[in-house]
Amino acid sequence: MRIVVIGAGISGLSCAQYLVQQGYRVCVYEKENALGGLMRSYTQDGYLYDIGPHYAYHEFIKKIGLTDDEYVYIPFDYQVFVNGSFIKFPFGIMKYPRYVSSAIGVLFGNSIRNNTEGASFGAYIRRAFGDSIAQDIWLPLIRKWQGVDPEELSVDFADRKLPSISTRLMFNMVTSVLSGGRTFSFGNREKHFTHVYPRKGIQQVCHKICEGFKDCIYLDAPVEEINVKDNRVEAINVKGKEIPVDVLISAIPLPALSGLVRNTDVLEAYRRLRFRNTILLVFFIARNKVMRGVINWFPDKEFTFFRITEPKNAASFVAPQGKTIMEVEITCNEEDHVWRMPELVLCDLVQKQLCQVYQLNNEEIEYYRIHKVPFTSPTYLIGYDALRRNIRCPTGIKNLFLVGRAGQHRYLLIDESYEHARACAQEIIETGLTAETNGDEDRGTKML
Ligand SMILES: Cc1cc2nc3c(=O)[nH]c(=O)nc-3n(C[C@H](O)[C@H](O)[C@H](O)COP(=O)(O)OP(=O)(O)OC[C@H]3O[C@@H](n4cnc5c(N)ncnc54)[C@H](O)[C@@H]3O)c2cc1C
Protein backbone atom coordinates (compact mmCIF):
# COMPACT_ATOMS: atom_id res chain seq x y z
CA MET A 1 0.00 0.00 0.00
CA ARG A 2 1.66 3.19 -1.22
CA ILE A 3 0.31 6.06 0.88
CA VAL A 4 1.64 9.49 0.00
CA VAL A 5 1.09 12.81 1.78
CA ILE A 6 1.82 16.08 -0.06
CA GLY A 7 2.94 18.92 2.23
CA ALA A 8 4.96 18.73 5.46
CA GLY A 9 3.10 21.44 7.36
CA ILE A 10 1.40 20.46 10.62
CA SER A 11 -1.66 19.03 8.83
CA GLY A 12 0.27 16.72 6.49
CA LEU A 13 2.57 15.63 9.30
CA SER A 14 -0.25 15.01 11.80
CA CYS A 15 -2.12 12.93 9.25
CA ALA A 16 1.06 10.96 8.48
CA GLN A 17 1.79 10.54 12.21
CA TYR A 18 -1.61 8.97 12.84
CA LEU A 19 -1.22 6.57 9.93
CA VAL A 20 2.30 5.60 11.03
CA GLN A 21 1.01 5.02 14.57
CA GLN A 22 -1.59 2.65 13.12
CA GLY A 23 1.13 0.68 11.37
CA TYR A 24 0.97 2.12 7.85
CA ARG A 25 4.00 3.19 5.90
CA VAL A 26 3.69 6.72 4.57
CA CYS A 27 5.89 8.98 2.40
CA VAL A 28 5.64 12.75 2.75
CA TYR A 29 6.77 15.07 -0.06
CA GLU A 30 7.51 18.72 0.74
CA LYS A 31 8.49 21.30 -1.84
CA GLU A 32 10.52 23.50 0.54
CA ASN A 33 13.89 22.58 1.99
CA ALA A 34 12.48 22.54 5.55
CA LEU A 35 9.36 21.14 7.12
CA GLY A 36 6.73 23.18 8.97
CA GLY A 37 4.91 25.07 6.20
CA LEU A 38 3.39 28.17 7.80
CA MET A 39 5.00 27.00 11.06
CA ARG A 40 8.57 27.29 9.83
CA SER A 41 11.03 29.06 12.12
CA TYR A 42 14.12 31.02 11.08
CA THR A 43 17.34 31.63 12.96
CA GLN A 44 19.96 34.24 12.15
CA ASP A 45 22.66 36.04 14.16
CA GLY A 46 21.19 34.91 17.48
CA TYR A 47 17.62 35.80 16.47
CA LEU A 48 14.71 33.38 16.24
CA TYR A 49 11.45 34.18 14.48
CA ASP A 50 8.49 32.58 12.72
CA ILE A 51 6.07 33.58 9.98
CA GLY A 52 4.18 36.10 12.10
CA PRO A 53 3.20 35.51 15.72
CA HIS A 54 2.69 31.81 16.32
CA TYR A 55 1.56 30.90 19.81
CA ALA A 56 -0.07 27.60 20.73
CA TYR A 57 -2.35 26.49 23.50
CA HIS A 58 -0.68 25.00 26.55
CA GLU A 59 -3.04 22.06 26.54
CA PHE A 60 -2.11 21.21 22.95
CA ILE A 61 1.66 21.58 23.46
CA LYS A 62 1.50 19.17 26.39
CA LYS A 63 -0.60 16.76 24.39
CA ILE A 64 1.99 16.45 21.64
CA GLY A 65 4.65 15.75 24.24
CA LEU A 66 6.78 18.88 24.72
CA THR A 67 8.09 18.97 28.27
CA ASP A 68 7.76 21.94 30.67
CA ASP A 69 11.35 23.08 30.03
CA GLU A 70 10.80 23.15 26.27
CA TYR A 71 8.36 26.10 26.19
CA VAL A 72 7.54 29.41 27.88
CA TYR A 73 4.21 31.02 28.75
CA ILE A 74 3.14 33.99 26.67
CA PRO A 75 1.59 37.04 28.36
CA PHE A 76 -1.70 38.36 27.04
CA ASP A 77 -0.51 41.84 26.09
CA TYR A 78 -2.09 43.33 22.97
CA GLN A 79 -2.70 46.93 21.95
CA VAL A 80 -4.67 48.55 19.16
CA PHE A 81 -3.63 51.85 17.55
CA VAL A 82 -6.72 54.06 17.20
CA ASN A 83 -6.81 57.80 16.49
CA GLY A 84 -3.10 58.23 17.10
CA SER A 85 -2.76 56.35 20.38
CA PHE A 86 -2.39 52.81 21.64
CA ILE A 87 -5.24 51.27 23.61
CA LYS A 88 -4.67 48.13 25.60
CA PHE A 89 -7.08 45.46 24.45
CA PRO A 90 -9.67 44.55 25.52
CA PHE A 91 -10.15 46.37 28.81
CA GLY A 92 -8.39 49.63 27.83
CA ILE A 93 -11.21 50.46 25.46
CA MET A 94 -13.60 50.70 28.39
CA LYS A 95 -11.92 53.98 29.39
CA TYR A 96 -13.52 55.65 26.36
CA PRO A 97 -17.16 56.74 26.89
CA ARG A 98 -17.97 56.22 23.21
CA TYR A 99 -16.99 52.57 23.46
CA VAL A 100 -18.69 52.07 26.81
CA SER A 101 -21.98 53.25 25.36
CA SER A 102 -21.41 50.91 22.40
CA ALA A 103 -20.94 48.08 24.86
CA ILE A 104 -24.00 49.01 26.87
CA GLY A 105 -26.00 48.99 23.64
CA VAL A 106 -24.94 45.40 23.09
CA LEU A 107 -25.73 44.44 26.67
CA PHE A 108 -29.31 45.56 26.26
CA GLY A 109 -29.58 44.45 22.66
CA ASN A 110 -30.12 41.05 21.14
CA SER A 111 -28.08 38.06 22.05
CA ILE A 112 -24.92 38.02 19.92
CA ARG A 113 -25.51 34.66 18.35
CA ASN A 114 -29.20 35.17 17.63
CA ASN A 115 -30.37 35.65 14.08
CA THR A 116 -26.98 35.14 12.45
CA GLU A 117 -28.35 32.74 9.86
CA GLY A 118 -27.77 34.29 6.47
CA ALA A 119 -26.07 37.36 7.97
CA SER A 120 -22.68 38.66 6.98
CA PHE A 121 -19.61 38.60 9.20
CA GLY A 122 -19.83 42.42 9.28
CA ALA A 123 -23.36 42.27 10.72
CA TYR A 124 -22.19 39.68 13.23
CA ILE A 125 -19.34 41.93 14.40
CA ARG A 126 -21.62 44.96 14.80
CA ARG A 127 -24.02 42.88 16.83
CA ALA A 128 -21.22 41.44 18.95
CA PHE A 129 -19.31 44.65 19.71
CA GLY A 130 -21.74 47.52 19.16
CA ASP A 131 -21.38 50.13 16.41
CA SER A 132 -18.52 52.27 17.77
CA ILE A 133 -16.13 49.44 18.59
CA ALA A 134 -17.03 47.72 15.33
CA GLN A 135 -16.62 50.88 13.19
CA ASP A 136 -13.38 52.09 14.76
CA ILE A 137 -11.58 48.81 15.37
CA TRP A 138 -12.97 45.57 14.06
CA LEU A 139 -14.48 46.37 10.68
CA PRO A 140 -11.48 48.33 9.31
CA LEU A 141 -9.08 45.73 10.72
CA ILE A 142 -10.96 42.86 9.07
CA ARG A 143 -11.26 44.83 5.81
CA LYS A 144 -7.50 45.30 5.76
CA TRP A 145 -6.69 41.75 6.80
CA GLN A 146 -9.13 39.99 4.47
CA GLY A 147 -9.10 42.51 1.60
CA VAL A 148 -12.89 42.68 1.29
CA ASP A 149 -15.70 44.48 3.01
CA PRO A 150 -16.76 42.44 6.08
CA GLU A 151 -20.31 42.61 4.67
CA GLU A 152 -19.07 40.33 1.87
CA LEU A 153 -17.69 37.78 4.32
CA SER A 154 -19.71 34.82 5.46
CA VAL A 155 -20.88 34.59 9.05
CA ASP A 156 -19.21 31.14 9.04
CA PHE A 157 -16.05 33.10 9.73
CA ALA A 158 -17.32 33.93 13.21
CA ASP A 159 -16.91 30.53 14.77
CA ARG A 160 -13.31 30.30 16.08
CA LYS A 161 -12.18 32.11 12.94
CA LEU A 162 -11.25 35.58 14.09
CA PRO A 163 -7.87 36.94 12.95
CA SER A 164 -5.69 34.90 15.31
CA ILE A 165 -5.73 33.11 18.59
CA SER A 166 -4.92 36.40 20.25
CA THR A 167 -7.89 38.05 18.65
CA ARG A 168 -10.01 35.09 19.51
CA LEU A 169 -9.08 35.53 23.11
CA MET A 170 -9.84 39.25 22.91
CA PHE A 171 -13.14 38.45 21.32
CA ASN A 172 -14.08 36.06 24.06
CA MET A 173 -13.00 38.42 26.80
CA VAL A 174 -14.82 41.38 25.30
CA THR A 175 -18.00 39.45 24.65
CA SER A 176 -17.72 38.16 28.20
CA VAL A 177 -17.52 41.70 29.57
CA LEU A 178 -20.32 42.87 27.32
CA SER A 179 -22.60 40.03 28.18
CA GLY A 180 -21.97 40.15 31.90
CA GLY A 181 -19.89 36.98 31.86
CA ARG A 182 -22.44 34.80 30.12
CA THR A 183 -20.34 33.95 27.07
CA PHE A 184 -16.95 33.32 28.58
CA SER A 185 -15.99 31.64 31.78
CA PHE A 186 -12.34 32.23 32.47
CA GLY A 187 -12.36 29.65 35.24
CA ASN A 188 -13.34 26.83 32.92
CA ARG A 189 -11.31 27.81 29.93
CA GLU A 190 -8.21 29.28 31.52
CA LYS A 191 -6.15 26.26 30.63
CA HIS A 192 -7.38 26.24 27.08
CA PHE A 193 -6.62 29.93 26.57
CA THR A 194 -3.10 29.93 28.00
CA HIS A 195 -0.61 30.45 25.19
CA VAL A 196 2.88 29.06 25.12
CA TYR A 197 5.86 29.23 22.78
CA PRO A 198 8.45 26.50 22.21
CA ARG A 199 12.03 27.50 23.00
CA LYS A 200 13.22 26.39 19.55
CA GLY A 201 10.51 28.25 17.70
CA ILE A 202 7.09 27.09 16.56
CA GLN A 203 8.66 24.67 14.08
CA GLN A 204 9.62 22.54 17.10
CA VAL A 205 5.97 21.44 17.21
CA CYS A 206 6.27 19.95 13.71
CA HIS A 207 9.61 18.30 14.53
CA LYS A 208 8.01 16.72 17.59
CA ILE A 209 5.07 15.38 15.60
CA CYS A 210 7.27 13.61 13.04
CA GLU A 211 9.84 12.30 15.52
CA GLY A 212 9.20 8.65 14.69
CA PHE A 213 9.14 8.89 10.90
CA LYS A 214 11.53 11.64 9.78
CA ASP A 215 13.20 9.26 7.34
CA CYS A 216 9.93 9.09 5.37
CA ILE A 217 9.85 12.84 4.70
CA TYR A 218 11.38 14.10 1.46
CA LEU A 219 12.28 17.79 1.47
CA ASP A 220 12.95 19.89 -1.58
CA ALA A 221 10.57 17.50 -3.34
CA PRO A 222 7.75 19.44 -5.03
CA VAL A 223 4.90 17.40 -6.43
CA GLU A 224 4.57 18.72 -9.98
CA GLU A 225 1.81 16.55 -11.42
CA ILE A 226 -0.90 14.21 -10.23
CA ASN A 227 -1.92 11.67 -12.85
CA VAL A 228 -5.52 10.53 -12.67
CA LYS A 229 -7.08 7.69 -14.64
CA ASP A 230 -10.68 6.50 -14.29
CA ASN A 231 -11.16 8.86 -11.34
CA ARG A 232 -8.25 7.41 -9.40
CA VAL A 233 -4.82 8.85 -8.76
CA GLU A 234 -2.32 6.49 -10.34
CA ALA A 235 0.94 8.33 -9.78
CA ILE A 236 2.51 11.62 -8.81
CA ASN A 237 5.43 13.31 -10.46
CA VAL A 238 8.17 14.69 -8.23
CA LYS A 239 10.97 16.53 -10.02
CA GLY A 240 10.42 14.53 -13.18
CA LYS A 241 10.22 11.16 -11.40
CA GLU A 242 6.96 9.19 -11.52
CA ILE A 243 5.91 7.65 -8.21
CA PRO A 244 2.99 5.19 -8.17
CA VAL A 245 0.36 5.90 -5.51
CA ASP A 246 -2.51 3.92 -3.95
CA VAL A 247 -3.75 6.63 -1.56
CA LEU A 248 -2.92 10.32 -1.90
CA ILE A 249 -3.50 12.86 0.88
CA SER A 250 -3.06 16.51 -0.02
CA ALA A 251 -2.34 19.27 2.50
CA ILE A 252 -1.40 21.83 -0.13
CA PRO A 253 -3.57 24.82 -1.13
CA LEU A 254 -6.68 23.65 -3.00
CA PRO A 255 -6.25 25.91 -6.04
CA ALA A 256 -2.64 24.69 -6.38
CA LEU A 257 -3.79 21.07 -6.11
CA SER A 258 -6.39 21.68 -8.75
CA GLY A 259 -3.65 22.95 -11.06
CA LEU A 260 -1.56 19.78 -10.60
CA VAL A 261 -4.26 17.23 -11.34
CA ARG A 262 -4.21 15.81 -14.90
CA ASN A 263 -6.93 14.15 -17.02
CA THR A 264 -9.89 15.39 -14.98
CA ASP A 265 -11.55 18.68 -14.19
CA VAL A 266 -13.39 17.60 -11.04
CA LEU A 267 -11.33 19.97 -8.87
CA GLU A 268 -11.58 22.86 -11.32
CA ALA A 269 -14.19 24.80 -9.28
CA TYR A 270 -11.78 25.05 -6.34
CA ARG A 271 -9.49 27.34 -8.32
CA ARG A 272 -12.03 30.10 -7.62
CA LEU A 273 -11.59 29.91 -3.86
CA ARG A 274 -9.90 33.00 -2.51
CA PHE A 275 -6.92 33.22 -0.19
CA ARG A 276 -4.91 36.12 1.21
CA ASN A 277 -1.14 36.24 0.91
CA THR A 278 1.13 37.63 3.61
CA ILE A 279 4.23 39.76 3.24
CA LEU A 280 6.28 39.48 6.39
CA LEU A 281 8.93 42.14 6.93
CA VAL A 282 11.28 41.39 9.78
CA PHE A 283 13.29 44.33 11.10
CA PHE A 284 16.39 43.63 13.19
CA ILE A 285 16.79 46.51 15.61
CA ALA A 286 19.59 47.67 17.88
CA ARG A 287 17.38 48.48 20.84
CA ASN A 288 16.33 46.27 23.72
CA LYS A 289 12.61 46.98 23.39
CA VAL A 290 10.49 49.08 21.08
CA MET A 291 6.80 48.35 21.52
CA ARG A 292 4.35 48.34 24.35
CA GLY A 293 2.86 44.87 24.40
CA VAL A 294 3.56 41.80 22.30
CA ILE A 295 1.20 42.49 19.40
CA ASN A 296 -0.03 45.85 18.09
CA TRP A 297 -2.98 46.09 15.68
CA PHE A 298 -3.43 48.84 13.08
CA PRO A 299 -6.96 49.19 11.73
CA ASP A 300 -6.22 52.59 10.18
CA LYS A 301 -5.89 52.72 6.36
CA GLU A 302 -2.92 55.07 6.53
CA PHE A 303 -0.70 52.16 7.62
CA THR A 304 0.37 49.55 5.10
CA PHE A 305 0.46 46.81 7.74
CA PHE A 306 -2.33 45.42 9.90
CA ARG A 307 -0.28 43.85 12.69
CA ILE A 308 3.16 44.18 14.25
CA THR A 309 4.67 41.77 16.74
CA GLU A 310 7.70 42.21 18.95
CA PRO A 311 8.24 38.57 19.94
CA LYS A 312 10.96 39.42 22.45
CA ASN A 313 8.30 40.99 24.67
CA ALA A 314 6.81 37.52 24.99
CA ALA A 315 9.97 35.38 25.01
CA SER A 316 13.29 37.08 25.79
CA PHE A 317 15.45 34.39 24.12
CA VAL A 318 14.36 35.27 20.58
CA ALA A 319 16.86 38.15 20.28
CA PRO A 320 20.32 38.88 21.68
CA GLN A 321 20.76 41.19 24.67
CA GLY A 322 20.24 44.84 23.72
CA LYS A 323 18.55 43.93 20.41
CA THR A 324 15.05 43.11 19.26
CA ILE A 325 13.00 42.19 16.18
CA MET A 326 9.77 43.66 14.86
CA GLU A 327 7.65 41.46 12.61
CA VAL A 328 5.45 43.53 10.33
CA GLU A 329 2.59 41.77 8.53
CA ILE A 330 0.92 42.98 5.36
CA THR A 331 -1.84 40.90 3.83
CA CYS A 332 -2.70 41.23 0.15
CA ASN A 333 -3.78 39.43 -3.00
CA GLU A 334 -1.38 38.38 -5.72
CA GLU A 335 -2.62 41.09 -8.09
CA ASP A 336 -2.16 43.86 -5.49
CA HIS A 337 0.44 46.54 -6.09
CA VAL A 338 2.10 45.87 -2.72
CA TRP A 339 2.78 42.19 -3.59
CA ARG A 340 4.74 43.27 -6.68
CA MET A 341 6.48 46.27 -5.14
CA PRO A 342 10.30 46.17 -5.20
CA GLU A 343 11.51 45.04 -1.78
CA LEU A 344 13.54 48.15 -1.12
CA VAL A 345 10.64 50.48 -1.89
CA LEU A 346 8.28 48.52 0.35
CA CYS A 347 10.81 48.39 3.12
CA ASP A 348 11.38 52.17 2.96
CA LEU A 349 7.66 52.79 3.06
CA VAL A 350 7.15 50.58 6.11
CA GLN A 351 10.26 51.83 7.85
CA LYS A 352 8.99 55.44 7.63
CA GLN A 353 5.70 54.38 9.24
CA LEU A 354 7.52 52.48 12.00
CA CYS A 355 9.76 55.45 12.76
CA GLN A 356 6.71 57.69 12.96
CA VAL A 357 4.68 55.47 15.31
CA TYR A 358 7.49 54.19 17.55
CA GLN A 359 9.94 57.10 17.43
CA LEU A 360 12.63 54.85 16.00
CA ASN A 361 15.74 56.23 14.30
CA ASN A 362 16.68 54.81 10.92
CA GLU A 363 20.15 54.03 12.29
CA GLU A 364 18.64 51.67 14.89
CA ILE A 365 17.29 49.41 12.13
CA GLU A 366 20.29 47.24 11.34
CA TYR A 367 18.82 45.17 8.52
CA TYR A 368 15.62 43.51 7.38
CA ARG A 369 14.34 40.35 5.71
CA ILE A 370 11.22 39.86 3.63
CA HIS A 371 9.22 36.65 3.29
CA LYS A 372 6.41 36.53 0.77
CA VAL A 373 4.04 33.75 1.74
CA PRO A 374 1.09 32.83 -0.49
CA PHE A 375 -2.16 31.16 0.69
CA THR A 376 -1.86 32.23 4.33
CA SER A 377 -5.50 32.78 4.99
CA PRO A 378 -8.72 31.52 3.36
CA THR A 379 -11.23 34.26 2.56
CA TYR A 380 -14.78 33.21 3.39
CA LEU A 381 -16.69 35.08 0.69
CA ILE A 382 -20.46 34.75 1.09
CA GLY A 383 -20.84 33.76 -2.58
CA TYR A 384 -18.60 30.73 -2.07
CA ASP A 385 -20.32 29.32 1.02
CA ALA A 386 -21.82 26.38 -0.86
CA LEU A 387 -18.60 25.53 -2.69
CA ARG A 388 -16.57 25.76 0.52
CA ARG A 389 -18.95 23.63 2.54
CA ASN A 390 -18.93 21.02 -0.22
CA ILE A 391 -15.18 20.53 0.02
CA ARG A 392 -15.85 17.75 2.47
CA CYS A 393 -18.03 15.93 -0.06
CA PRO A 394 -16.71 13.43 -2.66
CA THR A 395 -14.71 15.14 -5.39
CA GLY A 396 -14.91 12.19 -7.69
CA ILE A 397 -11.25 11.24 -7.36
CA LYS A 398 -11.63 8.13 -5.28
CA ASN A 399 -8.26 7.80 -3.60
CA LEU A 400 -7.51 11.51 -3.12
CA PHE A 401 -8.12 12.98 0.35
CA LEU A 402 -7.83 16.56 1.56
CA VAL A 403 -6.56 17.95 4.86
CA GLY A 404 -5.31 21.29 6.16
CA ARG A 405 -5.94 25.00 6.34
CA ALA A 406 -5.27 25.83 2.71
CA GLY A 407 -5.83 22.18 1.77
CA GLN A 408 -9.50 22.46 2.71
CA HIS A 409 -9.94 26.24 2.63
CA ARG A 410 -10.76 26.20 6.35
CA TYR A 411 -9.50 28.76 8.82
CA LEU A 412 -7.77 26.22 11.06
CA LEU A 413 -5.35 27.15 13.83
CA ILE A 414 -2.45 24.99 15.02
CA ASP A 415 -4.35 22.73 17.40
CA GLU A 416 -7.30 22.49 15.03
CA SER A 417 -5.03 21.55 12.11
CA TYR A 418 -3.54 18.76 14.23
CA GLU A 419 -6.83 17.37 15.53
CA HIS A 420 -8.54 17.69 12.22
CA ALA A 421 -5.79 16.00 10.21
CA ARG A 422 -5.65 13.08 12.65
CA ALA A 423 -9.41 12.70 12.52
CA CYS A 424 -9.16 12.69 8.71
CA ALA A 425 -6.48 10.00 8.88
CA GLN A 426 -8.76 7.87 11.02
CA GLU A 427 -11.56 8.28 8.52
CA ILE A 428 -9.19 7.43 5.68
CA ILE A 429 -8.34 4.18 7.43
CA GLU A 430 -12.01 3.39 8.00
CA THR A 431 -13.07 4.20 4.46
CA GLY A 432 -10.38 4.77 1.88
CA LEU A 433 -7.84 2.19 2.97
CA THR A 434 -10.41 -0.50 3.58
CA ALA A 435 -11.72 0.12 0.09
CA GLU A 436 -8.21 -0.03 -1.33
CA THR A 437 -7.46 -3.38 0.23
CA ASN A 438 -10.93 -4.90 -0.37
CA GLY A 439 -11.42 -3.44 -3.81
CA ASP A 440 -14.68 -1.99 -2.46
CA GLU A 441 -15.22 0.86 -4.92
CA ASP A 442 -18.15 2.56 -3.17
CA ARG A 443 -16.52 2.91 0.23
CA GLY A 444 -13.45 4.26 -1.49
CA THR A 445 -15.33 7.25 -2.85
CA LYS A 446 -15.89 8.85 0.54
CA MET A 447 -14.12 12.20 0.77
CA LEU A 448 -13.25 13.86 4.02
C1 LIG B 1 0.84 34.83 10.04
C2 LIG B 1 0.17 33.64 10.70
C3 LIG B 1 0.13 33.56 12.07
C4 LIG B 1 -0.49 32.47 12.69
N5 LIG B 1 -0.52 32.42 14.05
C6 LIG B 1 -1.11 31.36 14.66
C7 LIG B 1 -1.13 31.29 16.08
O8 LIG B 1 -0.58 32.17 16.78
N9 LIG B 1 -1.75 30.20 16.64
C10 LIG B 1 -2.36 29.24 15.89
O11 LIG B 1 -2.92 28.30 16.47
N12 LIG B 1 -2.34 29.28 14.54
C13 LIG B 1 -1.72 30.31 13.92
N14 LIG B 1 -1.68 30.36 12.54
C15 LIG B 1 -2.28 29.23 11.77
C16 LIG B 1 -1.27 28.07 11.55
O17 LIG B 1 -0.10 28.58 10.95
C18 LIG B 1 -1.94 27.05 10.63
O19 LIG B 1 -3.07 26.53 11.28
C20 LIG B 1 -1.07 25.85 10.26
O21 LIG B 1 0.26 26.21 10.04
C22 LIG B 1 -1.65 25.21 8.99
O23 LIG B 1 -0.84 24.11 8.60
P24 LIG B 1 -1.14 23.26 7.29
O25 LIG B 1 -0.27 22.09 7.35
O26 LIG B 1 -2.60 23.07 7.13
O27 LIG B 1 -0.71 24.21 6.04
P28 LIG B 1 0.73 24.68 5.58
O29 LIG B 1 1.56 24.98 6.75
O30 LIG B 1 0.49 25.75 4.58
O31 LIG B 1 1.36 23.39 4.86
C32 LIG B 1 1.25 23.13 3.49
C33 LIG B 1 2.58 22.56 3.03
O34 LIG B 1 2.48 22.12 1.68
C35 LIG B 1 3.70 22.40 1.01
N36 LIG B 1 3.45 22.37 -0.45
C37 LIG B 1 2.74 23.25 -1.19
N38 LIG B 1 2.75 22.87 -2.49
C39 LIG B 1 3.46 21.72 -2.57
C40 LIG B 1 3.82 20.85 -3.62
N41 LIG B 1 3.43 21.07 -4.89
N42 LIG B 1 4.58 19.75 -3.35
C43 LIG B 1 5.00 19.49 -2.07
N44 LIG B 1 4.68 20.31 -1.02
C45 LIG B 1 3.93 21.40 -1.26
C46 LIG B 1 4.04 23.78 1.55
O47 LIG B 1 5.39 24.12 1.31
C48 LIG B 1 3.71 23.59 3.04
O49 LIG B 1 4.81 23.09 3.75
C50 LIG B 1 -1.09 31.45 11.90
C51 LIG B 1 -1.05 31.53 10.51
C52 LIG B 1 -0.42 32.62 9.91
C53 LIG B 1 -0.37 32.69 8.41
**In what side-by-side order are the strands of the sheet with 241-244?**
241-244, 232-238, 223-229, 261-262
pLDDT band at 172 (very low <50, low <70, confident <90, very high): low
C-alpha neighbours within 13 Å on the C-beta side of residue 69:
0
29 near 221, Cβ under 8 Å? yes
Condensed to tens digits (0 to 9), the pLDDT of residues 301-353 reads 999 999 999 999 999 999 999 999 999 999 999 999 999 999 999 999 999 99
Q: Which of 58-67, 347-356, 376-385 has the lowest mean pLDDT?
A: 376-385
Q: Identify the helix (H) or strand (E) that includes residue 263.
A: none
pTM as predicted: 0.90
DSSP-derived 3-state class of residue 75: coil
Mean pLDDT along residues 373-401: 83
Q: Count each helix (H run) and each strand (E run) in the chain, helices first.
A: 16, 21
Question: What pLDDT does residue 440 have?
Answer: 39
DSSP-derived 3-state class of residue 390: helix
CA of 421, closest atom in ligand 1: 26
- Ordered structural domains, the chain, with CATH: 3-41+201-273+384-444 (3.50.50.60), 91-190 (no CATH), 275-378 (3.90.660.20)
With a cut of 90, say whether residue 180 has pLDDT above it. Answer: no
Condensed to tens digits (0 to 9), the pLDDT of residues 249-281 reads 999 999 999 999 999 998 998 998 999 999 999
CA of 35, closest atom in ligand 1: 49
CA distance 244 to 231: 15
Where is mean pLDDT largest: 148-157, 394-403, 417-426?
417-426
CA of 221, closest atom in ligand 1: 43
Ligand 1 within 6 A of 421 CB?
Answer: no
Residue to mutate (ligand 1; options 18, 146, 414; most atoms within 8 A of CB) = 414
